[in-house]
A and B are shown apart, each in its own frame.
Chain A
Amino acid sequence: MDFELDDDLKNIDQEARRLAANFDDEYWRDHDSRHEFPWDYYNRFAENGWIGVLIPTHYGGAGLGVQAAGVLLRAVASSGGAMNAASALHLSIFGMGPVIHHGSEEMKEKYLPPTATGELHVSFGVTEDDAGTDTSGIRTSARRNGDDWIITGKKIWNTKAQQAQKILLLVRTTPKEECRRPLDGMSLFLADLDRDYCEIREIPKLGRNAVNSNEVFINDLPVSGSDLVGEVGRGFYQLLDGLNPERIVLAAEAVGIGRRAIECATAYAGKREVFGRPIGKNQAIAHPLADSHSELEAADLLWQKAAWEYDRGGKNIGGLANMAKIRAAEAGFRACDRAMQVFGGFGYATEYNIERYWREARLMRIAPVSQEMALNYVAEHVLGLPKSY
């Protein structure tokens, strides 16, 4: 067993950090407070080919695995850009997973190259108000119109929908009652996010405000038959090639944010003097930082194991992806919370950035799936306990 990153991954980590270092805390604080998409940052990463990390070389990407994507996203998250930096890129990285694995050749030729260069922005359209994690309960549906389809419904929490030209939509094509299993009968479309048929409303929220989250109201959106991803009725199962990588790379990002917070808090604890000595000399300050550091190390290994399993085509991916997400979200948020405690009042002040990391790390315990639903998955599918809901 070798825990050392190989040379390619080391280079990816180093070069992504170097590029991200051009965008400092002030940049992110500013974009976050003005709710402004970080275009300069996005374009620099796009120009340098980073968005195509998972896209096969044949379609203009680097053809690397989820571990490489995780290393990249951990690097940008730990730069001080936190979730804003990671989310600006990651939709185009894991979001196209189902297209890479299940799309038609024509679809891949058409959409993967512009995704790799960063020109094409894709939003993810799965969650609905009334369905949430109970994905089988989605109401957005598609009906046939000759060779094409017409979609009606409503999606929520669509990241970057304001910028996106395309949306990967999960819709019902067969009513749940008529399906053998509740998760059958759904289909996946890489639909045009046509503003004539879709209304997009930004949701005001606690953090990660440089990257918008939205509600999308879809009214009789015409979708070409060629925009169907894979097979009719297999949408949910195909979507797993986006959902599992999503959990894994978000775990990597949570580790990145947590590390950043601990780094800042450690530097602060070493120089902030109270009662004539640095506060880092106090174990009440030092132990939580050391504890968080070790939690982040553990979470860092777990997401990499999940990525390794995914990249080698292993079978235990769901369990590992959920476990990595659970551990990293806890470790990342706790690290930010403890960093805030170390900074005291200054941790609450915007100027010191800790409150921004804290707001963004909090999201990881809810998204892309709540800790509780991830635990349910582990209880049922890893431990073999009866389903609780």
Chain B
Amino acid sequence: MKILVAVKRVPDPNATIKVRPDGTGIVTDNLKYVVNPFCEIAIEEALRIKENHGGAEVVLVSVGEQVCQEQLRTGLAMGADRAILVLQDGDVEPVIVARALAKLVEQEQPDIVMLGKQAIDDDSNVVGQMLAEMLGWGQGTFASEVKLSEDKSSAVVTREVDGGLEDVEMPLPAIITADLRLNEPRYASLPGIMKARKKELKEIPLGDLGIDQSVQVKVHKLSPPPERQAGKKVETVQELVDLLHTEAKVI
């Protein structure tokens, strides 16, 4: 069995993000980068499938700049077997990432492609879905539980939907995207970090994949959210009710 896991490098969710004054992007100086938290959950799930179903090869894929190898190394330190970095400078829009992954799926022939449900930087939430469409595979998105059949020919994915849970069954190969509650990712151990440096990390320029790279979405402008206004302290409940009525006009 082989599981391909997509990994995106994103700014640290705990970092304070500043938008460049001209609105063309964010200030990246001294910004820390991490594995997208949902991708981390996807890696963890792939490792658990490997551990609980008699072995599997877990292959990580990232599309982006050379520095993305830092995040791939983190995934290798967690226990993935090898990694592929598709090199491309600058932002790569989701549809191109999906095409690159589709091409790699052709080469690697995985049984499952695991992704995070979305990246926390652009919140697009589309790569998994687009990839499923391109490959004509079934998809279990927003997974909070994944169960493989005994013969590993199909998977039941529990999805977190509005107001409850939905179980969907699909034959493998399939696309699964991880939601927050799927698992709690492990930490890379020190021996894991030491082993990771000997694992294969193959680099392929995006241009070598022979895919359509035409840009379809252009970001015009980024702007920071409005600053929060200071609150107001009130002395009595009566005063609060009055203000809610006269000033906030919510009651």
Contacts and interface: CB of A to CB of B under 8 A. Distances in A.
Interface of A: 7-8, 10-12, 14-15, 18-19, 47-50, 52-53, 62-64
Nearest to A52: B190
Nearest to B193: A11
Contacts of B188: 11, 15, 48
A11 B189 contact: no
A7 B197 contact: yes
A48 B189 contact: yes
A15 B190 CA distance: 8
* Residue among B189, B192, B194 with the highest chain A CB neighbour number at 10 A: B194
B70 A62 contact: no
Contact of B193 (A12, A47, A52, A63): A12
A259 to B, nearest CB: 15
A53 B190 contact: yes
B190 A48 contact: yes
A8 B187 CA distance: 15
B197 A8 contact: yes
13 contacts: A8-B193, A11-B73, A11-B188, A11-B196, A12-B190, A15-B77, A15-B193, A48-B188, A48-B189, A49-B190, A49-B192, A50-B189, A52-B191
A8 B70 contact: no
Nearest to B197: A8
Given A10-B70, A52-B190, 19 more contacts: A7-B73, A8-B194, A11-B77, A11-B188, A12-B190, A12-B193, A15-B74, A15-B77, A15-B190, A15-B193, A18-B187, A47-B189, A48-B187, A48-B189, A48-B190, A49-B190, A50-B190, A62-B190, A64-B194
Contact of B189 (A10, A14, A49): A49
Dominant SS among interface residues on chain A: helix
B15 to A, nearest CB: 13
B72 to A, nearest CB: 11
Contacts of A19: 187
B74 A11 contact: yes
A62 B191 CA distance: 6
A8 B73 CA distance: 10
* Residue among B73, B77, B192, B193 with the highest chain A CB neighbour number at 10 A: B193
Contacts of B194: 8, 62-64
Contacts of B193: 8, 11-12, 15
Contacts of A64: 194
A262 B65 CA distance: 33
A293 to B, nearest CB: 14
B84 to A, nearest CB: 18
Given A8-B194, A8-B197, A62-B194, A15 B73 contact: no
Interface in B173-221: 187-194, 196-197
A48 B187 CA distance: 8
Contacts of B70: 7, 10
Contacts of B77: 11, 15
Contacts of A10: 70
A8 B196 CA distance: 9
Nearest to B76: A11
Contacts of A8: 193-194, 197
A63 B196 CA distance: 15
A50 B77 CA distance: 13
A15 B189 CA distance: 8
Contacts of A63: 194
Contacts of A62: 190-191, 194
User: Across chains A and B, which 10 residue pairs bring their CB atoms closest together, nearest first?
Assistant: A49-B190, A48-B189, A49-B189, A49-B191, A15-B188, A11-B193, A62-B190, A19-B187, A50-B190, A62-B194
Contacts of A18: 187
Interface string B63-76: 00000001001100
A47 B188 CA distance: 11
A19 B193 CA distance: 14
B51 to A, nearest CB: 16
Contacts of A48: 187-190
Contacts of B189: 47-50
* Residue among B70, B77, B189 with the highest chain A CB neighbour number at 10 A: B189
A63 B73 CA distance: 19
B11 to A, nearest CB: 14
A50 to B, nearest CB: 5
A64 B197 CA distance: 14
B21 to A, nearest CB: 20
B157 to A, nearest CB: 28
A10 B194 CA distance: 12
A8 B74 CA distance: 10
A88 B189 CA distance: 18
A52 B196 CA distance: 17
A83 to B, nearest CB: 22
Contacts of B196: 11
B69 to A, nearest CB: 9
A380 B222 CA distance: 62
A12 B188 CA distance: 9
Contacts of A50: 189-190
Nearest to B194: A62
A48 B189 CA distance: 4
A52 B187 CA distance: 16
A8 B76 CA distance: 12
A50 B192 CA distance: 10
Interface in B120-158: none
Nearest to A48: B189
A50 B194 CA distance: 11
Nearest to A68: B190
A10 B74 CA distance: 11
B186 to A, nearest CB: 9
A19 B78 CA distance: 13
